[in-house]
Amino acid sequence: MSAFKAYDIRGIYNKDFNKDTVYRIGYFLPTLLKSDVVLVGRDVRTTSNEIFTALAQGINDSGADVWDIGLATTPMVYYCTVHFQVGASVQITASHNPAIYNGLKVSRSGAIPVGSDSGLKELEQMVKEGAIVVAQKRGAIIEKDGKSPYLAFLKKFDLDLDSLNLSIDCSHGMANLLVKELFGDEHHYLWDHFDGTFPAHEPNPLEVENCEDLKRAVIANKSDIGVIFDGDADRVMFLDENGRFLQPDYVTAVIGHYYLSREKGRVLIDIRTSRSTSEYLLQNGAEVHTWKVGHAFAKNKMRELGAIFGGELAGHYYFRDFFNCDSGFYAAMIVLSVTAELKRKGISIASFIDSVVTWANSGEINFKLEEKDAAMAELHRRYVTEAKPTTVMDFDGYRIEFPSWWFNVRKSNTEPYLRLVVEAQSQTELEEKVNELSAVIQSFK
């Protein structure tokens, strides 16, 4: 079934999955997760209500209850999973994907993600082959208030924004549920009403064109920083006061500045993360651990390590203080707190980032390839077997390091791409290595 992915169930609704698939997912989920209650939230996409109806019917037909928290950010569902002590939860969302997509993010007790290696494969098998027998005593749908306890939790963070001039792009998405109650009305807001067709721009702030409105607003309003949320508000990204997009792995250093000035400990980064960031974290007392890309992998590794926080190039930030989960609002509060602290010292967020960045970085480059495995094997032959790298990591594609440069190449878990990140100590060497590696990869098109 094409909607079952590595981290969640996601695809074009009525093409990759439909009402019947969702009903069957609902029916078998309580059995898989051994829970007689499933907490369900949903985003503002135009198909989310229809999906909720089918999912709830399936859950109820199995004999389990649905605790319906209504419109929710994905992190709000994580919070409520723990707060209400339920054994299973689902957020209906396709996160940052275009409007025609939708999906389901599944968690078990403790807001632990259910990924392909921790239950989704079994669920897919049950959905394909399992028999439906409607329970003699069907479950019920019970409405719950998830917003109030989540908002109360976030408000415990003592955030003083009085000194900051902010421009905030809510992407017509779920950030609108909470943003003004957390940050106040007086900032410059863009697309701050719900619209599941996302008319202004796609709800994916990683794509530069989706940040153009915010860039104009930051410059026009002379803002200290720009903030942009994705569709379900599990991710957040930032522009500096000049309207420059801040690469999310550099933002990990900003979050590091906040935490490491308070305590030293373990920090998790993904295999694509800049050495500028890892070196900054090490210099400030972190024990840095590198791991696979993806929220299910990251959350499990966070728990295993007892890490203080973690950051990914895709703009997911994970927090021990938030059940090892990602939250766009929690990350934003920390970054805004640091921005205010720096401003009091006369330092802008741009100059702080410039002081962190010591390596020239390519960003993530995508190659649409048929022969991904052959390209990966050739890169391994050239740069591991024949060359003499200082370090090789092979748990998510390869990260191959040399004294003055490194690269990571990996297959996307969600799209038909080979993804490449290159970094070097000089811009000249970076350009040379990007060209060299691109030529090898493109020979397999």
Catalytic positions: 95
Residues forming a β-bridge with 405: 402, 424
Cβ contacts of residue 97 below 8 Å, gap of 6+? 10, 103, 202, 203, 204, 231
Report DSSP letters for 214-233, one per residue.
HHHHHHHHT-SEEEEE-TTS
Q: How far apart are CA 177 and CA 194, in angstroms?
A: 9
Q: How far apart are CA 340 and CA 336, in angstroms?
A: 6
Q: How far is CA 14 from CA 21, 58, 109, 240, in A?
A: 10, 18, 30, 40
Cβ contacts of residue 5 below 8 Å, gap of 6+? 116, 120, 413, 414
Residue 381: strand, helix, or coil: helix
Lay out the sheet containing 287-291: strands in order across. 287-291, 266-270, 309-311, 317-319, 325-326
74-83 helix and 328-344 helix, angle to the nearest 10 degrees: 110
Q: How far apart are CA 65 and CA 52, in angstroms?
A: 13
Q: Both tokens of residue 229?
A: 């949320």
372-380 helix and 427-442 helix, angle to the nearest 10 degrees: 130
